[in-house]
Amino acid sequence: MSNILQSFSLEGKVALVTGGTYGIGFAIAKAFGEAGAKVVFNGHNAARLKDAEDRYRAAGIEAKGYLCDVTDEAQVQAMAAQIREEVGVIDILVNNAGMIKRIPMCEMSAADFRQVVDLDLNAPFIVSKAVIPGMIEKGHGKIINICSMMSELGRETVSAYAAAKGGLKMLTKNICSEFGGQNIQCNGIGPGYIATPQTAPLREPQPDGSRHPFDQFICAKTPAERWGTVDDLTGPAVFLASDASNFVNGQILYVDGGILAYIGKQP
As a dihedral over the C-alpha atoms of residue 172, residue 185, residue 64, residue 164, rounded to 10 degrees, the angle is 0
Sheet holding 14-17, edge to edge: 63-67, 38-43, 14-17, 92-95, 141-146, 184-191, 252-255
Asked if residues 219 and 247 have their Cβ atoms less than 8 Å apart, the reply is no
Q: What is the pLDDT of residue 2?
A: 63
Exactly one of 22, 56, 66, 161 is catalytic; name it: 161
Structure pTM?
Answer: 0.96
Q: Helix, strand, coil shares of the chain as percentages rounded to 5?
A: 50, 15, 35
pLDDT for residue 168? 98
pLDDT given for residue 199 in this prediction: 85
pLDDT per residue, tens digit, the chain (267 aa), is 469 999 999 999 999 999 999 999 999 999 999 999 999 999 999 999 999 999 999 999 999 999 999 999 999 999 999 999 999 999 999 999 999 999 999 999 999 999 999 999 999 999 999 999 999 999 999 999 999 999 999 999 999 999 999 999 999 999 999 999 999 999 999 999 999 887 888 899 999 999 999 999 999 999 999 999 999 999 999 999 999 999 999 999 999 999 999 988 877
Q: CA nearest 112: which of 148, 75, 158?
A: 158
Nearest to 237 by CA among 195, 187, 194, 193: 187
**pLDDT value at residue 15:** 99
The reply to whether 161 belongs to the active site is yes
Phi, psi (rounded to 5 degrees) for 43: -155, 170
